[in-house]
Amino acid sequence: MSGLQINNVNKSFGDTKVLHNINVDIKQGEFFTLVGESGCGKSTLLRIISGLETPDTGSIYINNNDVSHMDPKDRNIAMVFQDYALYPHMLVRQNLEMPLLMAKTSLAERIPLVNALTLNSVKRNEIKKNVDDVARKLRIEHLLDRKPGQLSGGQRQRVALGRSLVRNPDIFLMDEPLSNLDAKLRESVRTEITQLHKETGLTFVYVTHDQTEAMTMSSKIGLMHLGKFMQVGTPSELYKIPTNTTVARFIGSPEINIVPLFDFKEIIEKVSEAAKGKYTSADIEDFVFGIRPEDLLIMSEKSHEKNSDKSREVLEATLDVKIESIEDLGHELFVHCSRLSHSSAVRIRVTKGSFSGNLSFGDTIKLKVCLKDANLFDQKGERVEIFTSGQDKKS
Amino acid sequence: MSGLQINNVNKSFGDTKVLHNINVDIKQGEFFTLVGESGCGKSTLLRIISGLETPDTGSIYINNNDVSHMDPKDRNIAMVFQDYALYPHMLVRQNLEMPLLMAKTSLAERIPLVNALTLNSVKRNEIKKNVDDVARKLRIEHLLDRKPGQLSGGQRQRVALGRSLVRNPDIFLMDEPLSNLDAKLRESVRTEITQLHKETGLTFVYVTHDQTEAMTMSSKIGLMHLGKFMQVGTPSELYKIPTNTTVARFIGSPEINIVPLFDFKEIIEKVSEAAKGKYTSADIEDFVFGIRPEDLLIMSEKSHEKNSDKSREVLEATLDVKIESIEDLGHELFVHCSRLSHSSAVRIRVTKGSFSGNLSFGDTIKLKVCLKDANLFDQKGERVEIFTSGQDKKS
Amino acid sequence: MIKKSLTGYFLSFPAVTLILIIYVIPTVVVLLISFTDYTLVRDNFDFVGGENYAKMFTDEVFLNSLSTTIIYALIVLPVGFGTGLFIAISIFEKKKFKSLFEVFYFMPVTSTLTAMALVWNALLDPIGIINSTITFFGGEKIAFLGSGDIVLYSLALISLWSIIGFNMVLFLAGLTAIPGHLYDAGKIDGINNSFDKFIYITWPMLAPTSMFVAVTNSINAFKLFDIVAILTQGGPDRASEVFLYLTYLEAFEYFNMGYASALSIVFLGIIFVFALLQARFIDKKVNY
Amino acid sequence: MNHNLQKYWRFKNFDIMTVISYLLLFAGAWLMMFPFIWMISSSFKPTHEMFDQNWTFWPKEPQIFENYYSVLFEQDFALFVLNSLIVCILILIVQLVTSIPCAYALAKLKFKGQNILFGSIIMGLTIPINVTSIPIYLGIVQINMLDTYFAMCFPFFISVFAIFLFRQFFKTFPDSIIEAARIDGFTEIEIVIRLVVPSAIPAISAFSVFSFVAHWNDLYWPLIVVTSMDKTTATLSMMQYSDGFYTDNQGAFAAATVVTLPMVIAFLCARRLFIRGITMTGIKG
Amino acid sequence: KVKITCLADGSRLTRQHQPLMKMFNEMQSEIEVEYMSPAKNYGDVHLKMMRASATNTLPDCAFQAYNQLPSLARALAARGQIVNFQDLFAREAQGWVDDNYTPEILENGVVDGKQYGMPFNASVYQWYYNNDLIKKVGGREADFHTWEGVMELAKKLKGAGITPFAGWLVDGDDWGWQMLILSQGGRLLDKNAGDKVTFNENDYGINALKMVKRWVDEAGYDPDADYRQQSTAFTEGNMGFFATSPAGAKSIQEKVGGKFDLKSTTFAVWNDKDGLLPTGGNAGVITTKDPKKIDAAWEYIKFVTGPKGQEFAAKITGYLPTNKRALLPEYLGDYYKKNPYFATPGNQFERAGPWVGYKGTQSEKIWREQRTVIRSVMLGETPIKEGAAKLQKIAEDLMQK
Ligand SMILES: Nc1ncnc2c1ncn2[C@@H]1O[C@H](COP(=O)(O)OP(=O)(O)OP(=O)(O)O)[C@@H](O)[C@H]1O
Ligand SMILES: Nc1ncnc2c1ncn2[C@@H]1O[C@H](COP(=O)(O)OP(=O)(O)OP(=O)(O)O)[C@@H](O)[C@H]1O
Ligand SMILES: [Mg+2]
Ligand SMILES: [Mg+2]
């Protein structure tokens, strides 16, 4: 059982309990992403893993060693910070050397001036070689003699990555490492990090606010809410079978549509039947469907609706809506509609090719939903499994 | 000719020329978005419109009045800043009152302490009423007695909007107003601004880094590059018929695929023929296609490729690629591939339903491109119109 | 974290030790002496309880020193504050000569008071250059250091000369910290002229700096000693006998150590009120 | 037309205001500088010219050589300056060595008693040397250290002002860099020496100017603990130019000039850093 | 070689002591004299000595102002830290003392009947006058020798729009006040025990206050001008005459340059027979316990208070020499003949009386409070009689300690 295990971690700051009995098992080589709204405790958890913060209770295992009482530097972790945290007065090279210098030399060898005498050249060369390797890998060789202040955001981020790379850590911890970059740059550094993960095969714990990052980079996502894990699973599990409405709402953009079961007259029967025994009919009245925007298909009167996908045939229902606004992203449209009956909003994703008619503001359209793709939640927001089984949907 | 006209504006800071002869005509009621990489002059242009910066040459017309030499406050504009620029020491109410106080009172009425005597209660009430109206509209009535420091990011943003609203401006200027908000919040405030635009019917000039914002909110986008406009047009024009590769690359995520014409053996002939007269064959050798990721269709051997769209039939070509990685966003996949011949990357967007086979890392697949959807660019990166006419694509 | 707090103790140990030896213990000793009739002259002394303190409040000289100190502070504080602020604002927006002005106005802060006191004494002399300038313009000569009515103003003038530059630099620092976009927002709201800019943006945004300047200046005003000792020795006729100078007289001219210590303790008591203000306002930022 | 007119007026207004404010500033600068100018001028003059009603900068009968010669060469002026330098530098070094770690601990670490320590530092800011001088003097006599450099420096070995200033400054130092350093394996001392101190150069130089100026100019304490000529400081040597009845004006102003000069030069050299340091220390709060 | 360390103040150190020290050190080879860092002024010497006494870090010798000598000597004597010169006189040849010193001069160094100080610098009030101005209003030198003459002269100057005169009084120590008492033949304290205030006997105090009030009312004396201002006003040629110590003679001469005809003359006394003038200046004290050092210090003090030492000191400052023999022609006699401006101190050698301090440590404080009263009398705020009584009460209240 190598990798990273977090057992029963609790943490309070003063009177505020920030982490509630956190348990996670992150496997060796996993890219584990922590998401959740601001203030839910992501950074705190990361800092506890790194040793910068001490948990009130609980323990941390890294590669089967209990590191709970170790100093950060002895845990053999690397951490990348949101603001890069480069040493501003040192050259890039010195920034990269630092972790090695600290790890490989004794205090005496580091005393300024004295070190010229005490630090032997073998160690020096070794460090230099290491740094050069990493710099080559990250394509920052030409920046080695600059100071962080003279670099662009993306370059700084790469240096920060480099600094964490040189020490060959067991685990990478990253706290929103891309959030200070602009959109274009974010995309390219994202790819670099994914690349790095693939190449090194190391365990990554990654904190982000950004949906796309979480979905595309992670092998697992842990969604936190008020200091607890709501769901831990693969990105597609979180997207397709969220355990509750909180998760469902959090993941996916535009937001998932939450529609009461009772709005789909066609299928109340079927659901009631399937739920019988487990739920009372009062319960069932409060059931809601969570339907992803791309799972709502527009049935234009004239169009001969394609039905290529066989699985969609069961449990179909319809919904009448009025178009409020259309956002054209080029490759897809977001159609914002309102329900005719009540004023709640419905969002539809229309991808190129999936609908070829004309949509315009004010039109009334009919939507078809394949409720097989949707999730059903009870009054508490918990996912209800009555006929769709989670297993079905994975893969 | 109402709205906002910018004529021949030039601006240098010291030796650096920041704006090169800018001309734009923004119509009354338009939502005009300025995009472009960092440092291209967006903010400078906005500040020139507002009067905070004086252009070296050129003039600005607002509703047919030459405002070039007017003070900012006399131009009847509203401006929302990236970091809100709320007065931190004033209550929200006072923040909102500011523009009115300045517009409606004389200096004598504003002298502290003295104003208790001089400022008459009619004016006072008038201002108060105005502020209350706006606060109600933006749902910030309950915040009026707090200071900006006690508000969340979204609330601050709303107050900043409010401050610009109270004065009933002719034009709204906004400089990256959402960039300090987190992803979820950004989405909702975005909707609010769109709403505001719709309700007021005023002219908006909006600066952003964010693709999605630019695409979804704007009625027109001006893409700037090194102090010049590269292209001004509707979002879909920029997406579908970018005038050059700079624009093409800038708009759209994942980035557009740029593939040399000569990689598509099947159609070189056709193109050469069409281009004859206008271009030499040496020119044609350097032609590249810009192909959006969603315009690359995966042809799996087994699959009976759907061909629902008639228009796609002409000018088809194929490309062989190897899958490098797959990013699953839930509602769509980004497939990153590499070309077999040379190592250039190709990005494909696979939406739900468009392809149902299994894709996995390392597979070699064949892509089909309908080149009618793609754009052809010459060696300088300028769009070449030889058989696709821009008009066709707009709609 | 136990380790972290150990580090904290370790790092602050030298400072804490020195603070104990240099500030705390001597202050306690002074407090103890204040209950005795110790003089430097005799080797033995008696405890007299609160007698020294009781005496103080019937001592006209003490009351006089309180009032001179307060009057002096009341002259120096507003003028030093206002002028410092005014100069800072005027310089801040200048493009040309900015650093020249900074140097000129700050220079007095670095000057050697002992040396400059000689100079000021000569400048303020009845036949000194200031008075000759005054008479040149038809004014009456002013006995700057000789007249009991004027001497405090003259001392204030010298102090002002030496602190204005310091206040100016602090205000410049404060001004630099005001985000420029607030003025932009202001311009659009119609905050256009200098008056409005000052009232609505500059002044409130400078509040923390102002607080710092006001508090440090008032503490320093209460600590006035050097120029009195060098220039007037409290004269003429006690008109410039400020608190700390009186303490000095009692201790070192009259050798009444006990009474002088009691005066010192009262001095500290008064000044701690300002310290409290300082702790309150400077550490916790002015609440935005 | 209208606009042009408006522009014209604005331009004019603006111009006049600028000119006036420049005039005021230069007038003020002249007032601030005048004592220095007068001092330098007087140091060139014979005594009877100093109070001439028609003041001129340049003397009618210059006595530059005599005045300065007596100050610089008829006594051990070099020794006095050396003493001042030794004292100022020693004080400064110890102040920095003791206050920087303490300020760092206060700004970035948590430990019990932190608030009490900070409180006593704030209080320390208000205690003038006049109050504590006698007990400290008695202590120094006890350990037989009167008339030593140690005695001259000792009460200033800790500067509460430095701790306060540096604490404000260190608070603005990003936590994440410190945490990165902890992960990299820096000890706390190394964090201070290698990261915090280099970043605090402006604040340190700002403080150094203050400290240097203050102790260079100090007269009160040297008068108490310096007894021998060997330890006399430059400022203390100013005492030799006057008694109740006799003032050696020529010598006094020449000496004043020579004593003041090093501080002015020191300030001019460190000016950039100094101003930046003040700006960055967040004295503003 | 015996090394001794002495303490002196301000420019007295640079101008007088250091050259004398050099002379002495070169003269012989057994003793080496050095000086401590200078004290700021007389008060600072006193303070340094008291502090050093309390901590047992005294120098070997010091030069202490007469009026503070009693308080210092008593404190030091209580701790056995000061040497009585009478013991040292005994070692000298018969008549040596009388050959060199007058009893009046020596009395300045006597405290509680013991010779703790050897007068080094001495000064009594003298007039300096601007002969140009005096001549202009028709004054003569003789006018300066009686108060009535002085008042007449002052009135004339005032009438001519000239600032008449100034003198050392409320700004500074109580030298001026003691002058007003002594010159009437009175004494500040009773001669023997020194524990009774006697300045109000025979209306001395009242007369003195009457006089100073007349200065202000009739003669245009400005009680607000401090010493430095008075002195510059005089040296700039804006004032008729000026009363101060001969110690300022050199300094005044330098400042005047050649601006006017500067002269000096003996001071006015009321009572030509008994009237004295308090002697300002300082006395050497020996404050070591080491017999060798005592010997050495005594040798040095003999030198500086000897004819040679006094000749030097008097010439460079204008002070009254404390050594009789210094007035011999080979020392100062011829010099004074040639320089009448500097000769005035010699001319009132006999008038040199004591400048005393009160018992206890509060002399300074007593004077500070008294001068407030004197000033308010001068300004007419306090009636003269009441003022005199107040002066006595202040002294009596504070003297006990
Ligand atoms: N040192 C601290 N002292 C007191 N409270 C703290 C401290 N650090 C964090 N908190 C509180 O703990 C909670 C969790 O903070 P944390 O930084 O872990 O959130 P987060 O999920 O990282 O948020 P964000 O996405 O905004 O970075 C917050 O309410 C925060 O205010
Ligand atoms: N006041 C100024 N003085 C000098 N140069 C300036 C000034 N303001 C802007 N510039 C320069 O002008 C160019 C354009 O700046 P501008 O702020 O308009 O860019 P931008 O497009 O808004 O960039 P961003 O997206 O980063 O906000 C930049 O190179 C910038 O450095
Ligand atoms: Mg966080
Ligand atoms: Mg910008």
Residues of C in contact with E364 (CB under 8 A): 249, 253-254
Q: In this structure, are residues C27 and C269 in contact, taking their beta carbons and an 8 Å threshold?
A: no
Rg of chain C (C-alpha set): 23
For the segment E140-152, the average pLDDT, to the nearest whole number, is 85
Give the per-residue pLDDT at B212: 81
Judged by 3 or more CB pairs under 8 A, whether C touches B is yes
Using a 10 angstrom Cβ sphere, with 0-12 exposed, 13-18 middle and 19 or more buried, the burial of residue D246 is: buried
**CA distance, residue C254 to nearest chain E CA (Å):** 5
What residues are in contact with ligand 2 under a 6 Å CB criterion? B 13, 18, 36, 38-44
ipTM of the complex: 0.82
Q: Give the three-state DSSP class for B7.
A: strand
Q: Is the pLDDT of residue B119 over 80?
A: no
Q: Give the three-state DSSP class for C254.
A: coil
For the segment B333-344, the average pLDDT, to the nearest whole number, is 79
Judged by 3 or more CB pairs under 8 A, whether D touches A is yes
β-bridge partners, A365: A321
Rg of chain A (C-alpha set): 26
Q: Is the pLDDT of residue B232 over 90?
A: yes
Is the Cβ of C253 closer than 8 Å to some Cβ of chain E? yes
Q: Nearest Cα to B98, choosing from B131, B62, B61? A: B131
Ligand 3 center to residue B50 CA distance, Å? Answer: 36
Residues of E in contact with D238 (CB under 8 A): none
Q: In this structure, are residues B74 and B260 in contact, taking their beta carbons and an 8 Å threshold?
A: no
β-bridge partners, B290: B258, B375
Q: Does the Cβ of A42 fall within 6 Å of ligand 1?
A: yes
- Across E125-258, the runs of DSSP E, i.e. the strands, are 126-130, 163-167, 239-244
C-alpha distances out from residue C133 to C128, C139, C146, E187, Å: 9, 9, 18, 46
Q: Does the Cβ of A41 fall within 6 Å of ligand 1?
A: yes
Q: Nearest Cα to D130, choosing from E361, C251, E364? A: C251
Q: Specify the higher pLDDT residue, E83 or A183.
A: E83
Find out whether the peptide bond into A254 is cis, omega within 30 degrees of 0: yes
> Which tokens is E396 given?
């009596």
Q: In this structure, are residues E300 and E17 in contact, taking their beta carbons and an 8 Å threshold?
A: no
Q: Does the Cβ of A44 fall within 6 Å of ligand 1?
A: yes
Using DSSP bridges, classify how beta strands A4-13 and A57-62 pair: parallel, antiparallel or unpaired: antiparallel
Q: How far apart, in whole angstroms, are the C-alpha atoms of residue D186 and residue D172?
A: 20
> What confidence tens digit (pLDDT) does each residue in C182-233 have?
888 888 888 877 888 888 888 888 887 888 788 888 888 888 888 888 888 8
In this structure, which residue's CA is closest to atom 19 in ligand 2? B39
Lowest mean pLDDT segment, chosen from B113-117, B178-182, B361-365, E152-156: B113-117
Highest mean pLDDT among B22-26, D133-137, E53-57, E172-176: B22-26
> What confidence tens digit (pLDDT) does each residue in B53-82 have?
889 999 999 988 898 888 888 888 888 888
Specify the DSSP class assigned to residue A394: -
Q: Given pLDDT bands bounded at 50, 70 and 90, which one contains residue A229? A: very high
Residues of B in contact with C185 (CB under 8 A): 79, 81, 85-87, 163
Residue position matching structure tokens 């800038």: B250
Is the Cβ of D109 closer than 8 Å to some Cβ of chain A? no
Q: Does the Cβ of A13 fall within 6 Å of ligand 1?
A: yes
Q: In this structure, are residues E303 and E30 in contact, taking their beta carbons and an 8 Å threshold?
A: no
Q: Positive or negative, the Cα torsion across B41, B46, B52, B57? A: positive
Q: Give the three-state DSSP class for E234.
A: helix
Ligand 2 center to residue C191 CA distance, Å? Answer: 24
Q: How far apart, in whole angstroms, are the C-alpha atoms of residue B320 and residue B342?
A: 11
Ligand 4 center to residue B213 CA distance, Å? Answer: 15
In this structure, which residue's CA is closest to atom 3 in ligand 2? B13
Decide if A325 and B194 are in contact by the 8 Å CB cutoff: yes
Give me the residues of B, 308-327, that contact A with CB < 8 A.
308-309, 325, 327
Q: CA D237, D241, D244, D246: dihedral to nearest 10 degrees?
A: 160
Q: How far apart, in whole angstroms, are the C-alpha atoms of residue B336 and residue B351?
A: 14
C-alpha distances out from residue A172 to A51, A78, A131, A205, E85, Å: 13, 5, 18, 6, 89
Is the Cβ of C47 closer than 8 Å to some Cβ of chain E? no
Decide if D120 and C29 are in contact by the 8 Å CB cutoff: no
* Residue among A198, A329, A353 minimizing CB distance to B354: A353
Ligand 3 center to residue A44 CA distance, Å? Answer: 7
Give the per-residue pLDDT at D14: 56
Ligand 1 center to residue A19 CA distance, Å? Answer: 10
Ligand 1 atom nearest to CA at A209: 25
> Which tokens is A313 given?
């045939």
Residue position matching structure tokens 């047919």: B64
Q: Given pLDDT bands bounded at 50, 70 and 90, which one contains residue D168? A: confident
Q: Nearest Cα to B174, choosing from B42, B75, B74, B24? A: B42
User: Quick count: other Cβ atoms within 10 Å of Cβ E185?
Assistant: 17
Q: Is the pLDDT of residue A103 over 80?
A: no
Give the per-residue pLDDT at D127: 84
**CA distance, residue A322 to nearest chain D CA (Å):** 50
Q: How far apart, in whole angstroms, are the C-alpha atoms of residue D244 and residue E246?
A: 12
Identify the CATH number of the domain defined by range C60-281: 1.10.3720.10
Alpha helices by DSSP H, listed for chain B, are 42-50, 92-104, 107-110, 115-118, 121-137, 153-165, 183-200, 211-217, 235-240, 245-250, 265-275, 281-285, 390-393
> Which tokens is A307 given?
């039905």
Determine the residue of chain D that is closest to B69 in CA distance. Answer: D3
Nearest ligand atom owner, CA of B38: 2
Give the per-residue pLDDT at A154: 81
Give the per-residue pLDDT at A394: 42
Give the per-residue pLDDT at B389: 46
Find out whether the peptide bond into B260 is cis, omega within 30 degrees of 0: no
Q: What is the pTM of this model?
A: 0.84
Residues of C in contact with B107 (CB under 8 A): 193, 195-196
For the segment C70-89, the average pLDDT, to the nearest whole number, is 90
Q: Is the pLDDT of residue A311 over 70?
A: no
Decide if D114 and C8 are in contact by the 8 Å CB cutoff: yes
In this structure, which residue's CA is closest to atom 2 in ligand 1? A13
Q: Given pLDDT bands bounded at 50, 70 and 90, which one contains residue B394? A: very low
Give me the residues of D, 73-92, that contact C with CB < 8 A.
none
| Cα angle value D221/D225/D228 (rounded, 5°) | 125
Q: What is the 3-state secondary structure (H, E, C) of A282-312?
A: HHHHCCEEEECHHHEEEECCCCCCCCCCHHH
**CA distance, residue C142 to nearest chain D CA (Å):** 16
Using a 10 angstrom Cβ sphere, with 0-12 exposed, 13-18 middle and 19 or more buried, the burial of residue E168 is: buried
Give the per-residue pLDDT at A390: 44
For the segment D177-198, the average pLDDT, to the nearest whole number, is 86
Lowest mean pLDDT segment, chosen from C99-113, E184-198, E373-387: E184-198
In this structure, which residue's CA is closest to atom 4 in ligand 1? A13
Q: Is the pLDDT of residue B258 over 60?
A: yes
Residues with Cβ within 8 Å of E12's Cβ and at least 6 positions away in sequence, in order, are D243, D246, E63, E121, E282
Decide if E362 and C145 are in contact by the 8 Å CB cutoff: no
Ligand 3 center to residue A175 CA distance, Å? Answer: 7
Determine the longest span between alpha carbons in chain D, in angstroms. Answer: 87
Decide if C184 and B52 are in contact by the 8 Å CB cutoff: yes
Q: In this structure, are residues E94 and D262 in contact, taking their beta carbons and an 8 Å threshold?
A: no
Specify the DSSP class assigned to residue E138: T
In this structure, which residue's CA is closest to atom 8 in ligand 2? B44
Give the per-residue pLDDT at A118: 65
What is the count of residue pairs from A and B with beta carbons less than 8 Å apart?
109
Q: How far apart, in whole angstroms, are the C-alpha atoms of residue B190 and residue B211?
A: 12
Determine the residue of chain E that is closest to C40 in CA distance. Answer: E54
Element (H, E) at E393: helix E384-399
C-alpha distances out from residue B13 to B19, B55, C73, C179, C188, Å: 10, 10, 48, 20, 22
> Which tokens is C189 given?
């709201």
> Which tokens is E198 given?
């006697």
Give the per-residue pLDDT at B308: 46
Q: In this structure, are residues E85 and E118 in contact, taking their beta carbons and an 8 Å threshold?
A: yes
Ligand 2 atom nearest to CA at B42: 21
Q: Nearest Cα to C216, choosing from A188, D165, B280? A: D165
* Residue among D47, D240, D246 minimizing CB distance to E38: D240
Determine the residue of chain A that is closest to D195 in CA distance. Answer: A87
Lowest mean pLDDT segment, chosen from A9-13, E33-37, E223-227: E223-227
Backbone angles phi, psi at D136, to 5 degrees: -65, -40
User: Quick count: other Cβ atoms within 10 Å of Cβ D4?
Assistant: 9
* Residue among A89, A103, A112 minimizing CB distance to D185: A103
Q: How far apart, in whole angstroms, are the C-alpha atoms of residue B2 and residue B33?
A: 18
Q: How far apart, in whole angstroms, are the C-alpha atoms of residue E192 and residue E139?
A: 42
Give the per-residue pLDDT at E69: 87
Using a 10 angstrom Cβ sphere, with 0-12 exposed, 13-18 middle and 19 or more buried, the burial of residue A10 is: middle
Q: How far apart, in whole angstroms, are the C-alpha atoms of residue C162 and residue E258?
A: 37
Decide if D177 and A72 are in contact by the 8 Å CB cutoff: no
β-bridge partners, A16: A13
Q: In this structure, are residues E241 and E134 in contact, taking their beta carbons and an 8 Å threshold?
A: yes
Decide if B251 and A334 are in contact by the 8 Å CB cutoff: no
Residues of C in contact with D114 (CB under 8 A): 8
Q: How far apart, in whole angstroms, are the C-alpha atoms of residue D152 and residue B1?
A: 81
Q: In this structure, are residues A258 and A245 in contact, taking their beta carbons and an 8 Å threshold?
A: yes
Ligand 1 center to residue D190 CA distance, Å? Answer: 27
Element (H, E) at A192: helix A183-200
HSE (CB half, 13 Å, CA atoms) of C54? 6
For the segment D242-265, the average pLDDT, to the nearest whole number, is 78
Task: Determine the topology of domain D74-280 in CATH.
Answer: MetI-like fold (1.10.3720)
Which amino acid is it at D187?
T
Backbone angles phi, psi at B22, to 5 degrees: -85, 130
Give me the residues of A, 193-212, that contact B with CB < 8 A.
194, 198, 209-212
Q: Nearest Cα to E13, choosing from E34, E28, E29? A: E34
Is the Cβ of A57 closer than 8 Å to some Cβ of chain B? no
Measured between alpha carbons, how far apart are the two ends of chain C, in Å? 32
In this structure, which residue's CA is closest to atom 14 in ligand 1? A41
Decide if B148 and C179 are in contact by the 8 Å CB cutoff: no
